[in-house]
Amino acid sequence: MRDRDVPRSAPMGLFRRLVTINGLVFTVGTLVLAVSPATVSSPVVLTEVPVLILGLAFILTANALLVRSSLAPLDALTSVMQRVDLLRTGNRLSGNGNRDLAHVIDTFNAMLDRLEAERSESSAHALAAQEGERERIARELHDEIGQSLTVVLLGLKRTVDRAPEDLREELHVTQEAVRACLDEVRVVARRLRPGVLADLGLSSALTALGSEFSQASGVPVTRRVDTGLVGLSQDAELVLYRIAQEGLTNVARHAKASRVVLSLRRERGRLTLTITDDGRGAVIKEGAGIRGMRERALLINAQLTVDSTPGEGTRIALVLPPGSAEGA
């Protein structure tokens, strides 16, 4: 908890105002009672009852109206509370014109600052752990299962070479099945750990991702990837890669698109990744995939927007903060 973000002064604006309003109403009531010819007998006389009821109604109404106008800014606060989503940062309430509630609003905004920072920290930890685990599984798939399958393939090849003619065909089929399985293991391992990212850099990794997607889904991908981007941090590269990966997976799963454009370019000085499809679009109800994208975007202070129009397609854009990368 970071105390420094919490406003320290605690002006009692709202309390003071409510006390003043109540005091004022009671004072006016008392004065009216004092200077008016009205009297209250004990026990109350029947003719005095309407006067008493009228006076009370007047006091209650005046009090209610004044208190309500003082509390009106709380409605704005409530609506921000309902809207708050820690994955969409920067939703703040302005204290302008709400002097009495300034303290509440400042405290609320400071609480949001703190929660956003904590949320971003914990999702950074979670994502790092997830990447670590993926890397471990990828390594095991590649090194253990991949190696074992390779040994099986070699053994099969030797057997095929020495096998009688009538068994060869069958053994060939088995050989192909094992080869396909080995390829699959490699694809899964690569998906889990984008080794190309470290080996070839982001541009090539995205190009490879696009080709893999096209092959698997049959949807052609147009790539517009700037080459020679330098200065991107490893974190940013991984975020861009994972968001492109999830974006393309969504196109394959949901879009029924006939083409996709995957672009990574500098636009107005900011590196921008977009995945645009011409599919069926949707009224997006964000699931784990898109929320994961948002978490990753937060890690590098990038801005993620998801625009989808039913019947017209979907566009995912990730805009990195200025200075994240330089062109060649």
Ligand X SMILES: Nc1ncnc2c1ncn2[C@@H]1O[C@H](COP(=O)(O)OP(=O)(O)O)[C@@H](O)[C@H]1O
Residues within the interface to Mg ion (CB under 5 A): 250, 289
Minimal distance, residue 243 CB to ligand X, in Å: 11
- Select from 209, 277, 294, 295 the one that contacts ligand X (CB under 6 A): 277
Minimal distance, residue 307 CB to ligand X, in Å: 10
CA distance 235 to 296: 9
Q: Which is nearer to ligand X, 156 or 260 (CB)?
A: 260
- Select from 238, 279, 324, 325 the one that contacts ligand X (CB under 6 A): 279
Q: Which is nearer to ligand X, 73 or 247 (CB)?
A: 247
Segment interacting with ligand X, rule: CB under 6 A, options 5-13, 67-75, 185-193, 274-282: 274-282
Q: Which is nearer to ligand X, 156 or 304 (CB)?
A: 304
Closest-approach residue to ligand X (CB): 289
Segment interacting with ligand X, rule: CB under 6 A, options 41-49, 67-75, 225-233, 281-289: 281-289
CA distance 117 to 18: 35
Spatial contact of 225 and 261, defined as CB atoms under 8 Å apart: no
Q: Which is nearer to ligand X, 86 or 117 (CB)?
A: 86
Minimal distance, residue 250 CB to Mg ion, in Å: 4
Minimal distance, residue 251 CB to ligand X, in Å: 5
314 binds ligand X, rule: CB under 6 A: yes
CA distance 176 to 170: 10
* Dihedral pair phi/psi, residue 53, rounded to 5°: -65, -45
- Select from 49, 253, 301, 305 the one that contacts ligand X (CB under 6 A): 253
Q: Which is nearer to ligand X, 134 or 254 (CB)?
A: 254
50 binds, among Mg ion, ligand X, none (CB under 5 to 8 A by kind): none
224 binds ligand X, rule: CB under 6 A: no
- Would you call the peptide bond into 322 cis, given omega within 30 degrees of 0 as the criterion? no
Q: Could you tell me the two tokens for 298?
A: 């937060």
The dihedral over CA atoms of 19, 22, 26, 29, expressed in degrees to the nearest 10, equals 150
The dihedral over CA atoms of 200, 224, 248, 90, expressed in degrees to the nearest 10, equals 100
The dihedral over CA atoms of 231, 236, 242, 244, expressed in degrees to the nearest 10, equals -60
311 binds ligand X, rule: CB under 6 A: no
Minimal distance, residue 189 CB to ligand X, in Å: 22
Alpha helices (H) along 141-278: 146-162, 165-192, 195-200, 202-217, 234-250
E strands present in the chain: 221-225, 260-267, 270-277, 303-309, 313-319
252 binds ligand X, rule: CB under 6 A: no
Spatial contact of 277 and 263, defined as CB atoms under 8 Å apart: no
Residue 58, C-beta contacts closer than 8 angstroms, at least 6 positions apart? none
Minimal distance, residue 296 CB to ligand X, in Å: 13
324 binds, among Mg ion, ligand X, none (CB under 5 to 8 A by kind): none
Minimal distance, residue 29 CB to ligand X, in Å: 60
Binding site for ligand X (CB under 6 A): 250-251, 253-255, 277, 279-282, 284-290, 308, 314
